[in-house]
């Protein structure tokens, strides 16, 4: 059984991508060897001492017309399916046309 795919309310395309933009500051304590207490012989960026999230933005973008629909999905539970995506698209579209 094929599930119904959500489509862009602006152009009708169902080529949609969810994008997650985030910026982080990674900190490495300066010790006697390579920067970061977890790095010894070489500097490995993922071996950080502290990570601070500065900003995040989540949205669904239509690959065809480029319209962006802000969304926030923290978790995906079994009750959510393509209709949850459709809800985001329609909600944001309604707000836009007011």
| Interacting residues toward Zn ion by CB under 5 A | 8, 10-11, 13, 62, 64-65
Q: Which is nearer to Zn ion, 56 or 65 (CB)?
A: 65
Q: Which residues contact 33 (CB under 8 A, 6 or more apart)?
A: 39, 40, 41
Q: How far is the CB of 60 from Zn ion (least distance, A)?
A: 10
Q: How far is the CB of 7 from Zn ion (least distance, A)?
A: 8
Q: Which is nearer to Zn ion, 27 or 63 (CB)?
A: 63
Q: How far is the CB of 29 from Zn ion (least distance, A)?
A: 47
Q: Which is nearer to Zn ion, 18 or 65 (CB)?
A: 65
Contact 37, 50 (CB under 8 A): no
Burial (CB < 10 A; 0-12, 13-18, 19+), residue 76, is exposed
Residue 48 DSSP SS3: coil
């Amino acid at each position: 059984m094929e599930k119904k795919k959500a489509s862009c309310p602006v152009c009708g395309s169902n080529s949609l991508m969810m994008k997650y933009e985030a910026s982080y500051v990674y900190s490495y304590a300066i010790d006697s060897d390579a920067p970061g207490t977890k790095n010894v012989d070489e500097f490995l960026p993922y071996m950080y001492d502290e990570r601070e999230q500065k900003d995040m933005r989540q949205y669904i973008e239509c690959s065809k017309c480029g319209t962006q629909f802000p969304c926030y999905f923290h978790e995906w539970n079994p009750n959510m399916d393509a209709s949850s995506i459709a809800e985001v698209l329609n909600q944001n579209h309604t707000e836009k046309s007011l």
